[in-house]
Structure 1
Amino acid sequence: MASNIHYQRADYESGLDENSPLITGLTGRKPELKSRDGTASAMATFGLGFSIMWAQALIRWFASPTEFQPAPILGPDVIEPWRLVSLRIFEALSVGVLLAHIWYCVLVPAFPYLRNFKATDEPHQFTLDGRHVLGGLVALCADGFLNCHQYIFMWNANSINRGVWAKFLPFHNHLSSSRYGESLLWGPPMYVYFCAGFGILGCNMAKPLRKRFPDLSNAGIFTIIWCIEFVMDFVIENLAIRITHGYGYAKTYRPLTLFPEQVHQFPIYESVFVASLGLVFTAMRLKAYDTGRSPVEAGFEIWHPSLQGTVRTFAVIGFSAGAVLIFYHLPLNWLGVIGDCYADMPSYMKPGPVE
């Protein structure tokens, strides 16, 4: 019976129809309204606020006579010499990866001469990749939220460290110890290569995948990229945890934990969160191919030309920090706090006393 029903366009007075604007008199302002579309201002505001929070935490951390000190290495356990050497190698490799990102994503576009060390007419640029690198380093602030209520993420006090800035962030439980060793050499690089790095890698995978499977939907392409990044994170993290004891997961949600109650226990949702985070950066980078800017930068044109670059930068910082919080820290903290699977921690991975 439904097939016999005929739909007709409704007739309205004054020649109006379904396509007419709800509020008259605005049809001639489409270009103006289009220029005001976007989220750049809102994202930049969040990025600026997050940067201020990070700056005050760093200043107070540096000035603290108790917090800006290497975390105490508790006994009686002593890290094996071969494992300590592996930890130092991991730190060196991580710093190398970070420097490579800074060189190719920030310095070379900003100073094209550095590409081949020859004079060039290329314009100086601060690219989306460079902004993603900067955004990752600012988002590093959120690492202080990992153990803000409970010690769910364990750190090796033998890492090169100066304690942690957690005590100077909002929501920190002052009954929880902040005397653990946030790594200065492999911690910051992770926020760069799991965000900006996975974004670049995902885009480089998307192109050949599209060429190989032209009929595959965007969702299909993203699913393949997500699976690859999931496996990469799983392999990288499990090797790092097992070989170096650089870090680990002290308290996890048991039903989703592999190797439970071992020092190297691994919550499978960690790789889910990291792969999802990397995919978001991949999507932002892919969206920037056509327009030259990512969706989070849309609308920066309404600002004075002298401020547009700054607004774009803080918008990307806001996106990076928000993505890290939403896709990683909030779910990881929730599953850790409600978890009941405790790792068998060596003493050098336990926090010092509350001060």
Structure 2
Amino acid sequence: MSTILPRHRNGSRYDDDEVDESSPLINNGHGGKATEKPRDGTASTMATFGLVFTIMWIQALIRWISSPTEFRPAPVLGPDEIETWRLVCLRIFEALSVGVLLVHIWFCILVPAFPYLKHFKRTDKTPEFTLDGRHVIGGLVALCADGFLNCYQYIFMWNSHSINIGVWAKFLPFHNHASSSRYAESLLWGPPMYVYFCAGFGIVGSKMAKPLKARFPQLSNAGILTIVWCIEFILDFVIENLAIRITHGYGFAKTYRPLTLFPEKVYQFPIYESIFVASLGCIFTAMRLKAFETGRSPVEAGYEHWHPRLQNAVRTFAVIGFSAGAVVMFYHLPLNWLGVIGDCHADMPSYMKPGPVE
């Protein structure tokens, strides 16, 4: 009868000199004893993806800015006119969004990098580039994926009265050139959404986790994240529905009818939008909570194997890769699929329709 060894604190059943000889990953062919643990290459893999995504974003920006047809405000089509009060609300929404973005940049990037800024007093605190700061940068790079929203069909509508200089969609892979790219990607509320729905929700979720654990000590980590997901679902549902109804800043032009609330209205809302956003928020929350335990998020694992001068860059690009990958996999791909197969068309005012293909 085989003896079952007790589990140690690291979760292994084996002592340091006892290994499972049947495992090809750790058997070195010398008596079954492992001499070296396999290196974790997660950071390298994620950093590679992050670097490639960043290059794609840079080339799209350069080509967009140098384009005489794409780098200019989207046309405001008639005959519909936006109400004055709604336009004022749109400007307030833009200003608030920029304010939220600046708060994230200040507290997540600038204050950790320049500790003096926290209280405007000299301090001996060491400057650092935190995970929150990397999440903010990652969100701004992941903004590139916003060009995929209407890469095949116009499923996500934009208000041409938003402050904009068009959109870079035409210069991204997979863009359908028969589909118009003359719509108004917002410069003022668009980028902040990729920060506060990712990095921001990660911070909020982490702040909720500790009191939840104290209040319900019997809950597992999965249980806590489930509660966080529900709260973030409600937050997104309220924020987005208020923004859509009051400002007409954006909306959903084509959705999957069985999962759409207020169908065929200008403010129709696919319930899966909040599902995707809450899921993103939970993923960023989980990364942040894990970083509290180990000193770095799971996607940064293995960065220490790089030369010390490259470690910060590898960690940063790894987080960028994670941010971009999460946004694409958990938001853009499913949203596009459900939009393309959808048959619920919003009653769009003309100022939310795209200009003609150029």
The TM-score normalised by the length of structure 2 is: 0.93
Equivalent residue number for residue 19 of structure 1: 20
Q: Which structure's residues are more often helix, by fraction?
A: 1
Equivalent residue number for residue 117 of structure 1: 120
Shift of 1:37: 1.3
Alignment partners' CA distance in 2, 1:233 and 1:18: 48
Equivalent residue number for residue 200 of structure 2: 197
Alignment partners' CA distance in 1, 2:82 and 2:312: 48
Gaps of 5+ in 1: 1-6, 11-15
Alignment partners' CA distance in 2, 1:282 and 1:219: 12
Counterpart amino acid of residue 33 in structure 2: T
Alignment partners' CA distance in 2, 1:18 and 1:85: 68
Instruction: Verify the 8 A CA contact 1:265 1:343 in the aligned structure 2.
Output: yes
Instruction: Verify the 8 A CA contact 1:44 1:318 in the aligned structure 2.
Output: yes
Counterpart amino acid of residue 321 in structure 2: G
Q: 2:66 aligns with which of 55, 63, 66?
A: 63
Matches within 5 A, 1:262-341: 262-341=265-344
Shift of 1:17: 8.8
User: Structure 1 224/188 Cα, relative in aligned 2: closer, same or farther at 3 Å?
Assistant: same
Alignment partners' CA distance in 1, 2:58 and 2:341: 31
- The reply on whether 1:29 has 2:35 as its aligned counterpart is yes
Q: 1:39 aligns with which of 35, 38, 42?
A: 42
Q: 2:134 aligns with which of 131, 134, 141?
A: 131
Matches within 5 A, 1:162-241: 162-241=165-244
Gaps of 5+ in 2: 5-16
Alignment partners' CA distance in 2, 1:17 and 1:121: 46
Instruction: Verify the 8 A CA contact 2:19 2:33 in the aligned structure 1.
Output: no
Instruction: Verify the 8 A CA contact 1:78 1:348 in the aligned structure 2.
Output: yes
Alignment partners' CA distance in 1, 2:227 and 2:34: 44
Shift of 1:218: 1.2
Q: Cα deviation per residue 1:66-122 (whole Å; 9 max; x = unaligned)? A: 100000000000000000000000000000000000000000000000000011111
Q: 4+ runs of 1 displaced by more than 2 Å?
A: 7-10, 16-31
Instruction: Verify the 8 A CA contact 1:139 1:321 in the aligned structure 2.
Output: yes
Shift of 1:30: 2.8
Q: 1:104 aligns with which of 99, 102, 107?
A: 107
Counterpart amino acid of residue 30 in structure 1: E
Counterpart amino acid of residue 343 in structure 2: D
Percent of aligned pairs with the same amino acid: 78
Shift of 1:18: 7.4
Instruction: Verify the 8 A CA contact 1:38 1:296 in the aligned structure 2.
Output: no
Instruction: Verify the 8 A CA contact 2:198 2:284 in the aligned structure 1.
Output: yes
Shift of 1:219: 1.3
Q: CA RMSD in A?
A: 1.5
Q: How many residues align?
A: 341
Shift of 1:189: 0.1
